[in-house]
Amino acid sequence: MEAFAVRHECPLELLKITAGGTCEETMEKTGKQLSSFAQTINLPFSFKVVASDLKDLKEEFFDLEANEAVAIDLAYQLWSLLAWPNHLEALMAVIQNLKPCFLVLKEVEVCTNAPNFLEPFKETLLFISGLIDSMNSCMEKHILYRKPVEEVHWWGMIHNVLTAEGTERTLRHERIGFWRFLFKKFGFVESDLSQTSILQANLTLKRSDQLRPGTSVMDGKSLIFRWNETSFQSISAWEFPSD
């Protein structure tokens, strides 16, 4: 927002953010904070909340105007539809119809979506072990937030992956190769990440001794964050070719 506010060449007419999700109160609070900040830097700004499940999103919810440039940030969202491939495909069709000039995808880099038991078990075991190791390095045991993360989030993931079947197994994830195939199927082209963003990611990891086991590696054009030998998340950028 600050960069847009001081851009003199090709100035921004309006920065419009549409937030979609089910946590309407949280999104409204975020919108008020962003609107207040935009006022302090004299940036033309609007914020809209779309309270909807991902599977129910429609193009008309976004009120796009002619010649409006669209960018989409998908942060840890698509995995929640892996148990329902038809919903995932429907959402991708909506995204395709929005014709974004740019899209950023962030997803957990682990595969727990295999139909058999053994592969998800191995993947979950390695992934959770890496998370525990990273938390032991970065967070003291007495920290307030550590207990609910371990007892609720991690235990819930382990329990769901190992005991649930069919659509009851909702905690499914896929690696970057799966998302590449899906996005290319809907006409998206993977784009290079900027050298500035890659440099910033590496500087963040080197900022403290606690983060030294953390590294970033390139998988094609995507950036993969790892802890020792465990991959944690992928970040990729996508473009939709103009007509």
List the chain residues with pLDDT less than 50.
none
Model confidence pTM above 0.95: no
Cα-flanking dihedrals φ and ψ of residue 197, to 5°?
A: -65, -40
Predicted pLDDT at 82: 95
Cα-flanking dihedrals φ and ψ of residue 73, to 5°?
A: -115, 115
> Residues with Cβ < 8 Å from 60, sequence gap 6 or more?
none
Rounded to 5 degrees, what angle do the CA atoms 221, 225, 227 make? 150
> Residues with Cβ < 8 Å from 130, sequence gap 6 or more?
227, 228, 229, 230, 232
Predicted pLDDT at 154: 80
Kindly state the tokens that stand for 97: 């119809």
Predicted pLDDT at 132: 86
Dist CA 69 CA 101 (whole Å): 6
Predicted pLDDT at 243: 63
Predicted pLDDT at 110: 94
Predicted pLDDT at 139: 79
Q: What is the CA radius of gyration of the chain?
A: 20
Per-residue b or e along 136-146, where b marks 16 or more CB atoms closer than 10 Å to that residue's CB: ebeeeeeeeee
Predicted pLDDT at 222: 96
